[in-house]
């Protein structure tokens, strides 16, 4: 029972609206108490000041009565008659001469023991009584006689007023408490409701309904910022999911054809008894297709690693001309075999910061395409030159070219221009996508344009600051 109660308390204490209401109540209650205390002491101060003013006036009157009368006692009697009808501030006084002898005093004065207060004013308490008296002490000289005048009045009414004020405050505190709890709950309810709505909708969002968005409140506050941030996050997730779906669909589509072809080859081989040469040919065919699949899977893996940002460049200072020369030397025998003229115009200084392996991969893909799509007897020309503050690497071929409408898409994943055109020279359509990823990772740009004559020119622009 007790543990149930504790867990309920813990659950309530953890709720945002309960916490906000508590802060609000404590704050409002504290502030109210401070204001009441301030008012109490201010009122007390004003009341004492008012009493002091009365005492000064009465003392002045007493002194003038004494001065005007024939002797001190007569003057005091006149004053006593005057003050007899005072209703609220009853005045008591005592006049003492320099030897300490009481010259005159009112009936209540001995009980008040009006001896000299340290300064002009003092507040004294009467033993056994709750009321306090305010005393004003002033020396005076009449006919060469030094006198001490003590005038006092009760402060009962003032302290009664203060007590009533304190009582009212104490009665009012529970009301303030209830009021602040109610106000706190009302003001905390709206933001908490919005938060709960956000949590409910966000909790219901899955990969299936990523197109849904949280309702954005009209008010320009933190809740709106939060909703917009969550919506932006859902949008990014939606994009990532759609990329992933597209990638999966593309991959399965691209893998299906070679796998079916492989299966077909093997089925045909198994259908009848064949001689060893035929089997050898089928196996070599299958191996070729498996090599193609391996290359494709490796390329897809590379593209997906680029997409997830898992590729880290090992940048180093390299002379791009040396690297291009290496790759040209590598492809030279193949070009020679097909009577393709492979040329390289090199510049002297082309030092850049690059990941050598990735740069080789980029050049390899571009040169592979150029040779693949250039008929025998054609020309493939590479060049590295400075253009303003950039180094531009270009590969120009005299091949089959790319139609104008396909140019913007050749760098897309799995994009291949009309396979009937390329005949046997088909690939997976990932080479240029990888080139683009490598260039972007380095901060370079890559593009393609049609030549005036046959063929196309691919170019990579490398800013020299690198």
Binding footprint of ligand ATP on the chain (CB under 6 A): 299, 365, 369-370, 373, 397, 399-402, 410, 415-417, 422, 427-433, 456
In angstroms, the CA 299 to CA 435 distance is: 11
Smallest gap from Cβ 297 to ligand ATP, in A, equals: 12
219 class by beta-carbon count within 10 Å (0-12 exposed, 13-18 middle, 19+ buried): exposed
Q: What CA dihedral angle connects 39, 40, 45 and 51, to 10 degrees? A: 120
In terms of CB distance, is 25 or 416 closer to ligand ATP?
Answer: 416
Out of ligand ATP, Mg ion, none, what residue 188 binds, judged by CB under 5 to 8 A for its kind, is: none
Q: Sketch the per residue contact string, 370 through 409, with Mg ion: x for CB under 5 A, - otherwise.
A: ----------------------------------------
Smallest gap from Cβ 359 to Mg ion, in A, equals: 16
Smallest gap from Cβ 410 to ligand ATP, in A, equals: 4
Give the pair of three-digit tokens for residue 462.
Answer: 């490398």
Among 369, 396, 416, 433, binds Mg ion (CB under 5 A): 369
Closest residue by beta carbon to Mg ion = 431
In angstroms, the CA 364 to CA 432 distance is: 11
Out of ligand ATP, Mg ion, none, what residue 80 binds, judged by CB under 5 to 8 A for its kind, is: none
Smallest gap from Cβ 439 to ligand ATP, in A, equals: 13
Smallest gap from Cβ 372 to ligand ATP, in A, equals: 6
Site size toward Mg ion (CB under 5 A) is 3
Smallest gap from Cβ 405 to ligand ATP, in A, equals: 13
Closest residue by beta carbon to ligand ATP = 427
In terms of CB distance, is 402 or 446 closer to ligand ATP?
Answer: 402
In terms of CB distance, is 399 or 427 closer to Mg ion?
Answer: 427
Q: Strand 351-354 to strand 445-450: parallel, antiparallel, or no bridges (unpaired)?
A: unpaired
Give the pair of three-digit tokens for residue 100.
Answer: 């300490």
Q: Sketch the per residue contact string, 426 through 465, with Mg ion: x for CB under 5 A, - otherwise.
A: -x---x----------------------------------
Out of Mg ion, ligand ATP, none, what residue 303 binds, judged by CB under 5 to 8 A for its kind, is: none
In angstroms, the CA 394 to CA 457 distance is: 7
In terms of CB distance, is 36 or 400 closer to ligand ATP?
Answer: 400
In terms of CB distance, is 14 or 423 closer to ligand ATP?
Answer: 423
In terms of CB distance, is 160 or 412 closer to ligand ATP?
Answer: 412
In angstroms, the CA 312 to CA 168 distance is: 74
In angstroms, the CA 304 to CA 323 distance is: 26
Smallest gap from Cβ 373 to Mg ion, in A, equals: 9
Out of ligand ATP, Mg ion, none, what residue 402 binds, judged by CB under 5 to 8 A for its kind, is: ligand ATP
Give the pair of three-digit tokens for residue 347.
Answer: 């510049």
In angstroms, the CA 155 to CA 216 distance is: 64
Give the pair of three-digit tokens for residue 155.
Answer: 């402060």
Backbone angles phi, psi at 353, to 5 degrees: -105, 115
C-alpha closest to that of 299 among 371, 362, 387: 362
Helix axes 276-307, 431-442, angle to 10 degrees: 30
Out of ligand ATP, Mg ion, none, what residue 154 binds, judged by CB under 5 to 8 A for its kind, is: none
Out of Mg ion, ligand ATP, none, what residue 428 binds, judged by CB under 5 to 8 A for its kind, is: ligand ATP
Residue bearing tokens 């297709």: 289
In terms of CB distance, is 265 or 422 closer to ligand ATP?
Answer: 422
In terms of CB distance, is 186 or 294 closer to ligand ATP?
Answer: 294
In angstroms, the CA 447 to CA 408 distance is: 9
Residue 376 is given by DSSP the state T
Q: How far is CA 345 from the centre of its chain?
A: 54
The residues that bridge with 319 in the sheet, in sequence order, are 351
In terms of CB distance, is 136 or 373 closer to ligand ATP?
Answer: 373
In 308-418, which ranges are continuous DSSP H helix?
320-337, 356-372
Residue bearing tokens 């901060």: 443
Q: Strand 341-345 to strand 132-142: parallel, antiparallel, or no bridges (unpaired)?
A: unpaired
In terms of CB distance, is 91 or 438 closer to ligand ATP?
Answer: 438
Positions touching Mg ion (CB under 5 A) are 369, 427, 431
């Amino acid at each position: 029972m007790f543990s149930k109660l504790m867990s309920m308390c813990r659950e309530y204490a953890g709720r945002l609206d309960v916490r906000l209401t508590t802060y609000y109540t404590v704050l409002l209650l504290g502030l109210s108490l401070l204001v009441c205390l301030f008012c109490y002491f201010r009122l007390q101060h004003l009341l004492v000041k008012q009493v002091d003013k009365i005492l000064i006036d009465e003392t002045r009157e007493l002194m003038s009565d004494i001065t005007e009368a024939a002797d001190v006692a007569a003057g005091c009697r006149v004053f006593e008659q005057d003050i007899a009808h005072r209703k609220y501030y009853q005045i008591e006084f005592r006049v003492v001469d320099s030897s300490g002898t009481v010259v005159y005093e009112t009936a209540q004065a001995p009980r008040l023991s009006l001896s000299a207060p340290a300064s002009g004013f003092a507040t004294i308490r009467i033993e056994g009584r709750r009321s306090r008296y305010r005393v004003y002490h002033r020396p005076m000289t009449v006919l060469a006689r030094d006198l001490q005048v003590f005038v006092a009045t009760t402060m009962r009414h003032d302290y009664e007023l203060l007590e009533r004020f304190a009582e009212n405050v104490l009665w009012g505190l529970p009301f303030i408490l209830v009021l602040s709890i109610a106000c706190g709950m009302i003001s905390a309810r709206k933001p908490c409701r919005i938060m709960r709505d956000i949590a409910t909708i966000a909790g219901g969002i899955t990969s299936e309904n990523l197109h849904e968005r949280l309702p954005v409140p009209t008010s320009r506050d933190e809740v709106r910022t939060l909703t917009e941030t969550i919506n932006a996050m859902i949008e990014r997730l939606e994009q990532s999911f759609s990329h992933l779906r597209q990638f999966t669909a593309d991959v399965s589509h691209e893998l299906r054809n070679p796998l079916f072809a492989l299966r077909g080859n093997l089925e045909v081989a198994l259908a009848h008894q064949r001689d060893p040469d035929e089997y050898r040919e089928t196996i070599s065919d299958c191996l070729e297709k498996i090599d193609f699949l391996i290359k494709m899977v490796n390329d897809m893996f590379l593209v997906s690693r680029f997409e997830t940002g898992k590729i880290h460049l090992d940048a180093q200072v390299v002379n791009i001309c040396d690297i291009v020369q290496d790759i040209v030397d590598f492809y030279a025998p193949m070009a020679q075999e097909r009577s393709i003229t492979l040329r390289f115009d090199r510049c002297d200084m082309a030092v850049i910061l690059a990941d050598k392996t990735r740069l080789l991969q980029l050049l390899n893909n571009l040169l592979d395409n150029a040779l693949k799509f250039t008929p025998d007897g054609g020309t493939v020309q590479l060049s590295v030159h400075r253009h303003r503050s950039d180094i531009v690497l270009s590969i120009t071929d005299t091949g089959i070219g790319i139609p104008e409408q396909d140019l913007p898409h050749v760098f897309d994943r799995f994009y291949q221009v009309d396979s009937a055109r390329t005949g046997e020279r088909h690939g997976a359509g990932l080479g240029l996508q990888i080139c683009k990823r490598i260039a972007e990772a380095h901060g370079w740009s890559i593009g393609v344009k049609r030549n005036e004559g046959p063929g196309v020119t691919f170019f990579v622009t490398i800013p020299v600051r690198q």
